[in-house]
Chain A
């Protein structure tokens, strides 16, 4: 069964303190690993798609990496506006997107 586990559940960082979020997955035939950002009261907002081990994507202070078993979302020198819940999802041989329960990130000024 396709499964996604995210850690930590919650993370508090000082502004400028870099860190990483983890997404561990098991999936039959990975057809994509997706990172989303969700702000309170809003729908998940797409950030990145990774398709194969070794692939990396960057956007501003965020960098996503992928291995055969996990993905990391690295946040470099975060700012308070980076505070949100970050969701990871995988898509396998079926067409469904399976989501983890997310990491709630708080960046303190």
Chain B
């Protein structure tokens, strides 16, 4: 079974600090997505990787946001410097190709970020 482990589950930080969110896919994927969820805007796609290569980062709001995927088992989303408007729940999701089918995306439990 595909699975996604995100850490930390909750993060409270002061404005201006650097924040790093982590995602560890367990197995069975070739695409990884980072989403941000807020009450006002719902789930917004920030960036996605295919076979560890960033394909589309047009959803990354500003240069303060960056994402890496050094290998198939690990990805990070970094915000530097953080601002109060970055407060949201950040989700990592994976999607794998099985026999060429357009399979669903599986989500982690999310990281709730609060910037004060």
Contact = CB atoms under 8 A, between A and B. Distances in A.
Interface stretch (B13-21, B42-50, B67-75): B42-50
Contacts, number: 55
A102 B4 CA distance: 22
B56 to A, nearest CB: 7
Interface string B84-116: 000000010101000000111111111000000
Nearest to B103: A49
Interface in B33-80: 33, 35, 41-43, 45, 48, 50, 55-56
Interface residues of B, number: 24
Secondary structure class of chain B's binding surface, majority of residues: strand
16 contacts: A34-B104, A42-B110, A43-B109, A46-B104, A49-B102, A91-B102, A95-B50, A95-B55, A95-B56, A96-B33, A96-B56, A97-B33, A97-B93, A99-B43, A100-B42, A101-B41
Interface of B: 4, 31, 33, 35, 41-43, 45, 48, 50, 55-56, 91, 93, 95, 102-110
